[in-house]
A and B are shown apart, each in its own frame.
Chain A
Amino acid sequence: MTTERDYDKLLTVALDKAMPYDWSIGLHGSMFFQEIRENQRFVGIRCPQCKKVYVPPRRVCGPCYTEMDELVPLSDTGTLRAFSVVNYPFIDPNTGGQRPVPYTYGYIQMDGADNIFSHIINETDVSKIEVGMRLKAVFKPKEEMQGHITDIIHFDIIS
């Protein structure tokens, strides 16, 4: 599609077709979503070398470059380590549509994990959110779960 600007003769070319992709979640990631669906519970993985517990579970500990296979059950609660209330419009490259704003993007330290899990917090009033608050995951009904990050709808502030 080529359009002519009314103020001069300079032209712009735009493409309007989406490019679909499929991504493998991997064995450990798939087990994470199975655990969410079956037990509404998070699961992490422990590095045999540095003993860190990672969520989501993945095959290799990056800093140690070591294969991991010890799955660790976690709860569905955690602590807010950092957050931001996103307030500007932008196109979501996954959907091609505008992401609904405002929404709160948070880094959550799940109980029993050493790293941080990123997700959405169900509160956009900054006067009601504080680093250090306790959070609990809210899941979709089991029959609606698809093995996708949106099986966790968001996190609620519980204290």
Chain B
Amino acid sequence: MAQKVAIVGTGQTDHKSHRPDVTGQEMIREAVDRALEDCGITIRDIDAIVIGNMDHFESINYVDNWSIEGSGGFMKPIMKVTTGGTTGASVAIAAYYHVASGMFDRVLAIGWEKNSESDTTGAIITCSDPIWDRFSYSGAIPSLATEATAYMKQYGATQEDAARVAVRDRNNALNNPHAHLQRPITLEDVMSSPMLAHPIKLLDVCPRTDGACAVVFAADGEAQRLAKQPAWVHATAVRHTYSWFGDSTDYDAGLVSLARASQEAYKKAGISNPAEELDVAELYLPYTYAGIKWIEDLNFCGRGEGAKFVRDGNTNMDGMIPVNPSGGVISTNCIGATALLRVAEASIQVMGKGGKRQLPKVNKALATGFGGCFWSDVMILGAERS
């Protein structure tokens, strides 16, 4: 790459189920203003913008144009990136490339979603093939549920094993003033919540949130000037499969896209033992079973060991590899922003700006994005300019 890149500022909105007090553009502006303020610059200092949300969600195409007054993009180069649930991470990775290429020095990445103005499930169903898959498909939850049933059969994991992930993340959210759901929950609460799609219960899965996130990427030289401790981008990786549901999941091989993307990112970042070498992981875990299964694909532990790894406290705030100090996706899910929030929260940890959710010393942080038909994006951030 032509130049090294760091995250120097982040901004996120107040997240709620419904924000009738603002339009989509106004909501985006909330996050953008906070990100600019975080690194002490104005919109005039921004060279280019990458923005994304979920296709079809708010029934607004060309959001790059539509959102100008929220993004501040008037007379600037803007690119729209939309890749399903991975959108937020894809936006971040595209913004990183914009700077790393040497073409721009300060680039703004924006993800947003106003789920209260969207038919989320109906819109997600339109990602499915209209001839073969749409007739039986019912959106994100059952595709995840099918993965869960296959995993439980394969490794003997239980609904309680998964529920521990919700308890961890929802209780972490109590330390994050931006988290949408802020009520402490217990294992019993998860187990007794209504069954949405076997084996996924209401408290096993993420909410629908209105919110936006913005992140400022800056070039080497500029980054040190804008942030006391920049969060340097050590690695990015993307793996997307394709949209035949019956082809995109190999139940014997795990979440292949995440395994391959993380292997590539670890190699680029010089990481050989991720659970020990990473100080924090902000993972896109849209449902609890992902929290026991996908950490195996991330090589935090071996195949079939995810449930025990979580049960033994390894992913707690004081564990070997703390996962989701922010409360994660299970606490806040403004979908087009969700993966960018993972990147923002990972960089917040590196920059030491996490307040009550801050870990003592974060040298290396991992952020992931998940979406589409079991697609994965990975970004590794570090305190050291690498």
Chain B contact patch, size range = 35 or more
Which B16-35 residues sit within 8 Å CB-CB of chain A? 20-21
In angstroms, Cα B125 to Cα A106, docked, is 16
Q: Which residues of A contact B (CB under 8 A)?
A: 5, 8, 10, 12, 15, 21, 23, 25, 29, 54-56, 58, 62, 81-88, 90-94, 99, 103, 105-107, 115-120, 126, 130-132, 149-150
Interface positions of B from 125 to 141, Cβ below 8 Å from A = 125-126, 130-139, 141
Q: Are A105 and B138 within 8 A (Cβ)?
A: yes
Q: Is the CB of A107 within 8 A of B146?
A: yes
Interface contact A93-B126, CB-CB below 8 Å:
yes
State whether A131 and B153 are in contact (beta carbons under 8 Å apart), knowing that A29-B131, A87-B197 are contacts in the complex.
yes
Query: Can you list 10 A-B contacts (CB < 8 A)?
Result: A62-B247, A84-B200, A86-B142, A94-B134, A94-B135, A105-B142, A107-B246, A120-B136, A130-B153, A131-B153
B246 touches A90 (CB 8 A): no
CB distance from A42 to the nearest CB of B (A): 12
Cβ-defined contact, B153 with A132, below 8 A: yes
On chain A, the residues within 8 Å of B126 by CB distance are: 93
Q: A56-B132, A92-B125, A120-B136 are in contact. Are A87 and B245 (CB under 8 A)?
A: no
Instruction: Pick the contact of B139: A54, A90, A131 (CB < 8 A).
Output: A90
Tell me, in angstroms, the Cα distance from A82 to B244 when the chains sit together. 15
Which residue of chain A is the closest to B247 with respect to CB atoms? A115
Total inter-chain residue pairs, C-beta < 8 Å: 115
* Whole-angstrom CA separation of A120 from B138 in the bound complex: 11
- Using Cβ atoms and an 8 Å threshold, which residues of chain A touch B251? 81-82
Question: Which chain A residues lie closer than 8 Å to B384 at the CB level?
Answer: none
Decide if B196 is an interface residue (CB 8 Å cutoff). yes
Indicate which residue in A23, A105, A130 contacts B136 across the interface (CB closer than 8 Å): A105
Residues of the A chain whose Cβ atoms lie less than 8 Å from the Cβ of B136: 103, 105, 118-120, 149
8 extra A-B contacts, CB within 8 A, seeds A62-B241, A131-B153: A10-B21, A84-B141, A84-B145, A85-B197, A105-B142, A105-B197, A106-B146, A107-B245
Q: Across the interface, do A118 and B153 meet the contact criterion of CB distance under 8 Å?
A: no
Q: How far is the CA of A41 from the CA of B94 in the complex (A)?
A: 46
A12: chain B residues within 8 A (beta carbon): 20
Are A116 and B242 closer than 8 Å at their CB atoms? no
Considering only CB atoms, which chain B residue lies closest to A107 in the complex? B146
Task: Tell me the smallest distance from the CB of B384 to a CB of chain A, in Å.
Answer: 37
Question: Does the CB pair B146–A149 fall under 8 Å?
Answer: no
Asked if B150 CB lies within 8 Å of chain A CBs, one says yes
Question: Is B356 part of the contact surface with A, judged by Cβ < 8 Å?
Answer: no
The 5 closest A-B pairs by CB, nearest first: A84-B145, A116-B246, A82-B146, A131-B153, A84-B142
Contacts of A118 in B (CB 8 A): 132-133, 136-137, 245-246
Q: How far is the CB of A53 from chain B (nearest CB, A)?
A: 12
With A90-B138, A116-B246, A116-B249 given, is the CB distance from A82 to B130 under 8 Å? no
Q: Tell me if A91 and B122 are in contact (CB < 8 A).
A: yes
Judge whether A82 and B20 touch: CB under 8 Å: no
Nearest CB of chain B from residue A95's CB, rounded to whole Å: 10
B222 interfacial contact with A, CB 8 Å: no
Chain B, residue nearest A58 (CB): B244
For A23, the chain B residues whose CB sits under 8 A away are: 130-131
- Indicate whether A91 sits within 8 Å of B142 (C-beta atoms), given known contacts A118-B132, A131-B153: no
Instruction: Say whether A93 contacts B246, CB under 8 Å.
Output: no
CB <8 Å contact, A117 and B247? no
**Pairwise interchain contact B135-A87, C-beta atoms closer than 8 A:** no
Question: In the complex, are the beta carbons of A87 and B247 less than 8 A apart?
Answer: no
Report chain B residues within 8 Å CB of A81. 150, 251
- For residue B220, CB closer than 8 A to chain A, the reply is no
* B101 contacts chain A at the CB level, 8 A cutoff: no
Q: Which residue of A lies closest to B154 (CB)?
A: A131
CB distance from A17 to the nearest CB of B (A): 12
Quick check: B146 and A83 within 8 Å, CB to CB? Answer: yes
Is B119 among interface residues, defined by CB-CB distance under 8 A? yes
